[in-house]
Every structure is written in structure tokens, then in C-alpha cells.
Structure 1
Amino acid sequence: MKYRQLTKEQFESLHEDFARFLATQSIDVKEWNQIKAEKPKVAEDEMNVFSDVVWDDVLTKTSYVEHFSKISVNLFKCDTEEIHRIAIKINWDINLLEQKGFEWLMQNPMDDSVDIFKGTKPYNSERNPEIFDLIEKGSSISKGEIFEYFNRLIS
């Protein structure tokens, strides 16, 4: 398996897509129920393959990822060949996970207590697994507004 199996909730929200996926392998509902009952390993394998297909699709479409902690922000722009990072660290007691702290940062990005670093590097291996790793470590897919805001400020 390339990524991880989708959660039960994710499978439920994608049940029609999963049914189409099974149909491409000539597996109907009756046969799927039989496979689940009699060959749980085969059912698990099918769910894993479907999960990888879904994750690959989502990750291929992902352009921005961000991770917030109490006093830092990591913003990523995921291009085809390389990943760009803007790291922001606040040097005083603030909580960026709260609205008040986030708003302070957005209104005071050039304050002396704000350190901003920017870097770019090629992917170590494949693009999608590296983005997946960031998500598994707590990052969220974003639209990129915050990345682009800070990128304009420091360029």
C-alpha cells in the first residue's frame, strides 16, 4: 500500500465511487458481500487499492499545504518538481491556533518578533508521498492564500 486505507467515514462518503471501482473489476454488490464474508483478505486488498487511487487523485490536485502550531506556521507550495516552504516563527507568547493570535500575525507580519524563512527544494523521492507525509504529520490542504500573502510580502 502506497498511503493508508481511507477511514470508515471516508469510505462511506465515497461509497458510489467505490461501487464504480468494484464494477470496473466486474464485482457487483452480491459478490462484494460474499468476498467480505468469505475472503476478508481479498476485500481488504480491494479497499487498499481503492484508497491508494483516491489518495493519488487528491494529492495530485493538491497545490498548497499548511501546518499551524501555537507559535509557528509552515506553509508549503507543492509544484511538480519541487516544494516551496515559508516558515514563520513568533518569538513571544502567542497562540496562532486561536483567532486572536492568527489575526495578530496577519496584521503584524513584519513585526520584530516574527521570523520568516523561505526555501525551496526538490522532492526527495516522489511528490505525492511527500505531500501525504506532511498531511499525516498534521498539515492540512489549503487554497494557498496565506502562502501567497507571505510570499508577496517577502519577495
Structure 2
Amino acid sequence: MKYRQLTKEQFESLHEEFAKFLATQSIDAREWTEIKEEKPMVAEEELNIFSDLVWDDVLSKTKYIEHFSKTKVNLFKCDATEIHRIAIQVTWDIDLLAQEGFEWLMQNPMDNSVEIFKGSKPYNDDRNLEIFDLIEKGSTISKGEIFEYFSQLI
């Protein structure tokens, strides 16, 4: 397995897509029930294959991800061959996870207590695996507005 298996909630929200996936392998609903009961290892493998397909599709389309903590923000732009990062740190006691803290940062990006660093690097290995690793560590996929806002400032 390349990534990780989707959660139960993710499978439930993708039940139509999963049914189509099974249909491409000539497995109907009755047959799927039999496989789950009689061949749980085969069922698990089908779930793993489907999970990898979904993750690959989502990660291939991912252009921006971001990670917020109380005093730090990491913004990433994921190009085809390299990843760009804007790291922001606030040096006074503020909570960027709270609405007020985030709004303060957006209104005061050039304040002396705000440190901004920018860098880029090629992917070490597989682009999607590196993005997946950042997501597993707490990053979320975004539309990139915050990255582009700070990118224009620096």
C-alpha cells in the first residue's frame, strides 16, 4: 500500500465511487458481500487498492497545503517538480489558531514581531508521497489564498 487506507467515513462518502471501482473488476454487491465474509484478506486488498487510487487522484490535484500552530504558519505551494514554502512565526504570545489571532496576522504581516521566511526545494522522492506525509503530519489542503497573499508581500 502506497498511502493509508481511507477512514470508514471517507469510504462511506465515496460509496458510489467504490461501487464503480468494484464494477470495473466485475464484482457486484452480492459478490462483494461474499468476499467480505469468506475472503477478508481479499476484501482488505480491494479497500487498499481503492484507497491508493483515491489518494493518488487527490494528491495529484493538490496545489497548496498549509499548517497552522499557535505561533507558526507553514504555507506550501506544490508545483510539479518542487515545493515552495513560506514559514511565518510570530514572536509574541498570540494564538494563530484563534480567529482573532489569524485576523491580527493578516492585518499586520509586516509587524516587527512577524518573521517570514521563503524557500523552495525539489522533491526528494515522489511528489505525492511528500505531500501525503505533510498531510499526515497535520497539514490541510487549501486554495492557496494565504500563500499567494504572503508571496506578494515578500
Name the residue aligned to 1:53: 53
- Tell me which amino acid in the other structure corresponds to 2:99: Q
- Give the SS at the match of 2:76: strand
1:81 lines up with 2:84 in the alignment: no
Superposition misfits of 4+ residues, deviation over 6 angstroms? none
Name the residue aligned to 1:95: 95
The TM-score, its normalising length taken from structure 1, stands at: 0.99
Residue 69 of structure 1 deviates from its aligned partner by: 0.1
Name the residue aligned to 1:67: 67
Query: What is the count of residue pairs matched by the alignment?
Result: 154
Residues in 1 aligned to 2:131 and 2:56: alpha-carbon distance in whole angstroms: 10
Q: Which runs of 5+ in 2 are unaligned?
A: none
1:11 lines up with 2:22 in the alignment: no
Residues in 2 aligned to 1:32 and 1:107: alpha-carbon distance in whole angstroms: 54
Residues in 2 aligned to 1:91 and 1:11: alpha-carbon distance in whole angstroms: 42
Residue 28 of structure 1 deviates from its aligned partner by: 0.4
Name the residue aligned to 1:113: 113
Residues in 2 aligned to 1:9 and 1:113: alpha-carbon distance in whole angstroms: 41
Name the residue aligned to 2:141: 141
- Tell me which amino acid in the other structure corresponds to 1:27: I
The TM-score, its normalising length taken from structure 2, stands at: 1.00
- Tell me which amino acid in the other structure corresponds to 1:84: H
Residues in 1 aligned to 2:153 and 2:111: alpha-carbon distance in whole angstroms: 12
- Give the SS at the match of 2:73: strand
Residues in 2 aligned to 1:51 and 1:119: alpha-carbon distance in whole angstroms: 32
Residues in 1 aligned to 2:60 and 2:97: alpha-carbon distance in whole angstroms: 28
1:109-129 superposed Cα distances (whole Å, 9 cap, x missing partner): 000000000000000101001
- Give the SS at the match of 2:116: strand
C-alpha RMSD of matched pairs (Å): 0.3
Q: Which runs of 5+ in 1 are unaligned?
A: none
Residues in 1 aligned to 2:94 and 2:121: alpha-carbon distance in whole angstroms: 30
Residues in 1 aligned to 2:64 and 2:109: alpha-carbon distance in whole angstroms: 20
Residue 141 of structure 1 deviates from its aligned partner by: 0.2
